[in-house]
Structure 1
Amino acid sequence: MAISTVSSRPDPLRAAAPVPGPELALTVPSLRFDGQPLFQDLHLTLPAGRWTCLLGPSGVGKTTLLRLIAGLEPGGQLRVDGRAGPAAVAFMAQQDLLLPWLSVRDNVLLGHRLRGMPRGERSALAEQAEELLARVGLAGYAQARPATLSGGMRQRVALARTLMEQRPIVLMDEPFSALDAVTRHRLQDLAAELLAGRTVLLVTHHPLEALRLGHRVWVLAGRPVRLEGPIRPDGQIPRDPAAPALLRLQARLMDELLASAEATEPA
């Protein structure tokens, strides 16, 4: 299914200027997992309106950092533009978390439903939801149920739901992992377009993906975890994956990931 990134109609997702993303600063004084230190005096800053990417071996703590920022895990101290407290966050987990009894379109509008938006107002957003589904390659699937979709299609619904929230802060945990290479590339472009100006934290296992999208790229390593970097690729996102400078950075990043794996694996 081709992914449409050009529409002859006005894009309802561009109808209003996005809320600019704030700067976030997360401090984790101490956090243990299975009796072992996971984080100790860890500090991570997400620059305002920029993409920050996290890489590292499985189990190093990338998802835990996302959950700490989202307020789903205790133990972190979050400051948003210098003020402590919760933030307006859209969170895309590794699992698609689609509700099987709802249609694809209703799953895209799930956040609005959970916040108590009346059905009539949600219906008014139906065109916007369907436009977004078309842009992730799911035109014609608005009334389908999740059980009829492939894993990659379900992940695209979850991505559409995250983008539909239009939050100033967006946290995404491997959002493109179930996609083929071409679809992955196109949806990276779409996310970069629709999340321009937001503060984004992306967890990924793909070095080139991080370098295409990240303004800052960090590698997590060790026990307790330390942040290695950041790498700051030049140029606007999404970057050309064939650019020689990006390919050189990919080789450097791969070396750092190998070192991270050695530092994190048990002795």
Structure 2
Amino acid sequence: MIKHETGAVDPRPVKLSCRNLWKVFGPNARAFMEERKGQVTGADLDRAHLVGAVRSASLEVREGEIFIVMGLSGSGKSTLVRCLSRLIEPTMGELMFDGRDLLGASEQELIEIRRHKMGMVFQHFALLPHLNVLENVAFPLFIQGIGREEREARARQMIDLVSLTGREQRFPSELSGGQQQRVGIARSLAVEPEIWFLDEPFSALDPLIRREMQSELMRLQSVLKKTIVFITHDFDEAIRLADRIAIMKDGEIIQIGTPEQLVLNPATEYVAEFTRDVNRAKVLSAQSVMAEPSTASSSYRTVEARAKIITFAAEIVDSPTPFAVADAKGAIIGEVSPRAVIDLLSGKGLEVRA
């Protein structure tokens, strides 16, 4: 059973969802699953010589959030994202996009949805080597039948957005890996997608360039507010980017939650292993380690309840007094002591408030 996060309900509408979604590879897989109404075990699949790449996956992605799917190699995360975009056909289940049954869409309808509402970026940049930067970015608009003047104007806007202005006439072979990935991002954004699928887009990059591209993605998201489904196997990358994370193992979604929820309350030992070595000061908020407010709290320096500990750790460890913790309306709801932060930084403060 999947463990989902608890807490306040996100008021944003659901953009994309799936329910009991399966992708099974092998002979007569669909008939096998339909005959059993999806009620199968791993042993059942093994006996039928079938592979359950995605097993009864259920999730909801809300408008404007970065939803990350992560797991080790072979966990099914890339197969899942291809099912969500119908690049490969799910074996059975429900798949909804903007309240519309995506599995019921015709081939032509699906082509139109992909062309106009979905953007995709993959690990391999897949730039066309004979086209320059401007032409690569404008290419999906050419496929849509948009005139040259309009498509090049929009392509230039996207090139500027990803900070590649001045390189419009260069060819992919003349660009660094990070620049090539920026071109791929600009190309996928040129169609002004409503949902953006990114399948390990930075994993082939050197660490410094990868971090730069993560920052670039966060900057773009602050401007564009896209709905993003992002695939990664790197938990550090996930906690830096995600609003919420789904962790997969053997084709199943094991747990869904915010980075903080996964660190505080791992559902299984498998999830705990992902979070064991994470820098908790980057993940946990002031609210997670606060105590009840004292009568003196109103005179202390104030930090927001959602502020990550890393953002004020250097100041509080040298402070003679605790910091007050305020909610979104500015009301004092607790206080964080220097000792609590020091213990957390040293690895002692592992039992924190959910």
Scaled by the length of structure 2, the TM-score of the pair is: 0.55
Alignment match of 2:94 (pick from 48, 56, 77) = 77
Q: 1:28 to 1:113 in 2, by over 3 A?
A: farther
Alignment match of 2:77 (pick from 33, 50, 62) = 62
**Does 2:32 align with 1:40?**
no
Q: Is 1:30–1:37's contact at 8 Å kept on the other side of the alignment?
A: yes
**Alignment-derived partner of residue 33 in structure 2:** none
Residue identity opposite 1:77 in structure 2 = E
In structure 1, what is the Cα distance between the partners aligned to 2:227 and 2:137?
Answer: 21
Q: 1:184 to 1:125 in 2, by over 3 A?
A: same
Q: Is 1:22–1:169's contact at 8 Å kept on the other side of the alignment?
A: no
Aligned length: 219
Residue identity opposite 2:94 in structure 1 = Q
1:22 to partner: Cα distance: 4.9
Q: 1:21 to 1:101 in 2, by over 3 A?
A: farther
Q: 1:243 to 1:110 in 2, by over 3 A?
A: farther
Q: Is 1:52–1:201's contact at 8 Å kept on the other side of the alignment?
A: yes
1:212 to partner: Cα distance: 1.1
Deviations 1:177-224 (A, max 9, x none): 2333343333323322323432110001221111011111111102xx
Moved more, 180-189 or 45-54: 180-189
Unaligned segments of structure 1, at least 5 residues: 1-19, 235-240, 250-267
Moved more, 107-116 or 182-191: 182-191
**Alignment-derived partner of residue 244 in structure 1:** 281
Q: 1:40 to 1:129 in 2, by over 3 A?
A: closer
**Alignment-derived partner of residue 191 in structure 1:** 217
Q: 1:149 to 1:190 in 2, by over 3 A?
A: closer
Secondary structure at the aligned position of 1:217 is classed as strand
Q: 1:126 to 1:154 in 2, by over 3 A?
A: closer
Q: 1:111 to 1:126 in 2, by over 3 A?
A: closer
**Alignment-derived partner of residue 168 in structure 1:** 194
Q: Is 2:178–2:213's contact at 8 Å kept on the other side of the alignment?
A: no
Residue identity opposite 1:46 in structure 2 = V
* 1:1-267 equivalences in 2 (<5 Å): 22-34=14-26, 35-75=50-90, 77-85=94-102, 87=113, 88-133=117-162, 135=163, 138-196=164-222, 197-222=225-250, 225-233=251-259, 244-246=281-283
Moved more, 155-164 or 210-219: 155-164
Residue identity opposite 1:220 in structure 2 = M
In structure 2, what is the Cα distance between the partners aligned to 1:29 and 1:129?
Answer: 34
In structure 1, what is the Cα distance between the partners aligned to 2:151 and 2:220?
Answer: 21
Q: 1:62 to 1:200 in 2, by over 3 A?
A: same
In structure 2, what is the Cα distance between the partners aligned to 1:80 and 1:99?
Answer: 30
Secondary structure at the aligned position of 1:201 is classed as strand
In structure 1, what is the Cα distance between the partners aligned to 2:57 and 2:279?
Answer: 34
Deviations 1:112-149 (A, max 9, x none): 1111111122233353143134x2xx443211111233
Residue identity opposite 1:188 in structure 2 = Q
Residue identity opposite 1:23 in structure 2 = K
1:31 to partner: Cα distance: 2.1
Give the percent of matched residue pairs that are identical in Structure 1 and Structure 2.
32
Q: Is 1:168–1:198's contact at 8 Å kept on the other side of the alignment?
A: yes
Deviations 1:147-187 (A, max 9, x none): 23343332221122223333120000111223333433333
In structure 2, what is the Cα distance between the partners aligned to 1:169 and 1:146?
Answer: 26
1:74 to partner: Cα distance: 0.7
Unaligned segments of structure 2, at least 5 residues: 1-11, 27-49, 103-109, 261-277, 286-307, 309-354
In structure 2, what is the Cα distance between the partners aligned to 1:189 and 1:160?
Answer: 15
Q: 1:38 to 1:231 in 2, by over 3 A?
A: same
In structure 1, what is the Cα distance between the partners aligned to 2:154 and 2:13?
Answer: 23
